[in-house]
Structure 1
């Protein structure tokens, strides 16, 4: 698998299970790029929705994508602490166009005190039926929710207290 080079700018594209484009984040700076992990940083970037709407992110963020795990994280740096938005989705792939993954609707929002909320279970149930998610995908996603919660509770990977701060310092060097 090819991977983006450190210091390069990449577009991030999420798709739905049926192959339709879901969302595009216009520009993220690659802080670390390997075949297994991509860590990126961005600040107030343009996000385009499949329905044509667009908006800008409100704060700096550090993104973590993994080629082996069925989730990715966005650590958003706000004045009252770091919030995480975690997408349950396929491991990432990368081509010269963008970093890509399939978004499977379920999300976990993590607050600065590391409490969390599972979101969009109703959307997941609806899309699971509409797009006919295979049982194997459902099983992987249910396992991945548990794995992600375990990472949150253990402060593992992107949830390590120093992770976002360290990578944000590196992001500032590229701005």
Structure 2
């Protein structure tokens, strides 16, 4: 995989298991890009839903994608602290068009005090039947929930104190 240069912008695309486009984030600035990890930043960008609806993000965010784990993490910078939204899905790929991953419905929302909540289990159950998720995918995702909870409690990776702030400062220099 060849990555765009630091400071360039990319589109982020999420897909569903049945290969349909789920959501597109118009513009994320690359702050770090390797075969193992991509860190990007954005602020009040347009997000396009698969049904054509569009909305604009409300705050600056630092995005963390990994090639080794079945999740990505968005650190949203708000007045009352950093909130994290963790999407469970495949490791990313990048193909010159966009950074891409398959979204598997389950999400974990992390609050500034590092408490968290598992979201969308009902959506996962419905899509698992509709799209025939393989049993192996469910096993990986359940293991990934445990892994993410461990990262959160250990304040590891994107949850490390100062991680989002550090990358946000870098983002501000590349806008």
Q: Determine if the TM-score, normalized by the shorter chain, exceeds 0.5.
A: yes
C-alpha deviation, 1:8, in angstroms: 1.1
Q: Deviations over 1:144-171 (max 9, x none)?
A: 0100010000000000011000000000
Secondary structure class of the residue paired with 1:158: helix
Question: Aligned partners of 2:69 and 2:63: how far apart in 1?
Answer: 14
C-alpha deviation, 1:3, in angstroms: 2.4
Tell me which stretches of 4 or more aligned residues in structure 1 moved more than 4 Å: none
Secondary structure class of the residue paired with 1:124: helix
C-alpha deviation, 1:4, in angstroms: 2.8
Partner of 2:70: 70
Structure 2: 5+ residue stretches without partners: none
Partner of 1:168: 168
Does residue 58 (structure 1) correspond to residue 58 (structure 2)? The answer is: yes
C-alpha deviation, 1:6, in angstroms: 1.3
Secondary structure class of the residue paired with 1:138: helix
Structure 1: 5+ residue stretches without partners: none
C-alpha deviation, 1:5, in angstroms: 2.1
Question: Aligned partners of 1:94 and 1:160: how far apart in 2?
Answer: 26
Question: Aligned partners of 1:149 and 1:129: how far apart in 2?
Answer: 26
Partner of 1:47: 47
Does residue 138 (structure 1) correspond to residue 138 (structure 2)? The answer is: yes
Q: 1:24, 1:47 within 8 Å by CA — same for their partners in 2?
A: yes
After superposition, where does 1:21-100 map in structure 2 within 5 Å?
21-100=21-100
- The alignment's C-alpha RMSD in Å is 0.6
Secondary structure class of the residue paired with 1:6: coil
Q: 1:4, 1:94 within 8 Å by CA — same for their partners in 2?
A: no
Q: 1:32, 1:38 within 8 Å by CA — same for their partners in 2?
A: yes
Q: 1:6, 1:33 within 8 Å by CA — same for their partners in 2?
A: yes
Q: Deviations over 1:107-163 (max 9, x none)?
A: 000000000000000000110111000011111001001000100000000000110
Q: 1:4, 1:34 within 8 Å by CA — same for their partners in 2?
A: no
Number of residue pairs aligned between Structure 1 and Structure 2: 175
Question: Aligned partners of 2:22 and 2:81: how far apart in 1?
Answer: 28
